Amino acid sequence: MNGDALSRLATLLEEDLQATNQAIVARMDSPVALIPQLAAHLVAAGGKRLRPLLTLAAAKLCGYEGVRQIKLAACVEFIHTATLLHDDVVDESVLRRGYASANAVFGNKASVLVGDFLFARAFQLMVEDGSLEVLRILSQAAATIAEGEVLQLTTQNDLATTEQKYFDVIRGKTAALFAAACEVGGVIAARPASECAALAQFGMDLGMAFQLVDDALDYSADEAELGKTVGDDFREGKLTYPVLLAIAAATPSEREFWTRTVEQGNQTQADLATALALIQKHGAGFQTIARAEKFVTSAVSALEIFAPSSMRDALVEVAQFTTARRF
């Protein structure tokens, strides 16, 4: 996400965002000290707050003037953070291969349990809000996220993964929460179903674009030169869009390379550079961004149902700059 576009959105929503941050800190508290400690590590530390901003923006776009968006934005962030914590859990096999674990400080079990707490707390916040429609949207999103994550796990190391499966994975693991975050903004504003659906569509398309760009950046030679972390997906044997494209265009010897490194997980230090070179050779990064652009176009057109406003402009801008982001 382009930092400037997102900063402008955050500035437009500054008061709401501050209130959301306060709600986040207040509601992740617990008499069990490790919970706020570990949660603070991820939640309070800041982050871009992209998903809660979408809820705040959607509510504002719909002319909503109450305060329900604050609690629900916090709730969306809790669901996101729970997902991050559970994503940090590493498998025995990964440990055996000697990768550093993202949850090294606290351990697998604490990540899982604190994630569970945040997830439960998110539902408590929704119950306090009191809308069964919001509960329906976000419990459905939570189930879809889990399905996407499990599907990703089962396609890992599988070179036969189809584009369709890849899109199912990212729709679940990323786009579903973007969609739900936007939709609830319309629901609390009591907008007609067509507008709520348009917001969901905007979020879904934005989420798809966002994840495609994320997956492209993980194979970006530029980023590697800038000293940023690339190659996580490669090391984990994830069949992301750039890899699927490079495999589809592979020569026989290139296919052997992908089979060894991604399917069999048999990698040496030098393999990442080769992977980056192959992605570049076949223009797979470029094509991935191009695919993301299509989702951005769809996202922007979904917002046409709304009258022009500074909030609509800001959301359009956030979408358009998705493909320009470098982090």
Region of 47 please: left (phi>0), alpha (psi -120 to 50) or beta.
left
Residue 309 vs residues 141, 243, 252, 322: alpha-carbon distances, Å = 28, 40, 53, 20
Q: Does 120 bind its own copies (CB under 8 A)?
A: yes
Q: Does 147 bind its own copies (CB under 8 A)?
A: yes
Closest separation in Å from C-beta 2 to its own copies: 31
| Candidate segments 143-151, 187-195, 202-210, 249-257, binder of its own copies by CB under 8 A | 143-151
Q: Does 297 bind its own copies (CB under 8 A)?
A: no
Interface pick for its own copies out of 116, 222, 232, 304 (rule CB under 8 A) = 116
Question: Is residue 45 exposed (0-12), middle (13-18) or buried (19+ Cβ within 10 Å)?
Answer: exposed
Q: Mark residues 67-106: x for contact with its own copies by CB under 8 A, - for none.
A: ---------------x---x--xxxxx-x-----x-----
Interface pick for its own copies out of 48, 67, 97, 153 (rule CB under 8 A) = 153
Q: Does 117 bind its own copies (CB under 8 A)?
A: yes
Rg (CA), the chain: 20
Closest separation in Å from C-beta 204 to its own copies: 18
Query: Distance from first CA to last CA of the chain, Å, rounded?
Result: 7
CA gap 3, 205 in Å, rounded: 19
Q: Which of 198, 183, 204 is nearest to 301 (CA)?
A: 198
Q: Does 295 bind its own copies (CB under 8 A)?
A: no
Give the distance from CA 320 to its chain's centroid. 17
Binding footprint of its own copies on the chain (CB under 8 A):
30-35, 82, 86, 89-93, 95, 101, 107-110, 112-114, 116-117, 119-121, 123-124, 126-127, 130, 132, 135-136, 139-140, 142-143, 145-147, 149-151, 153-154
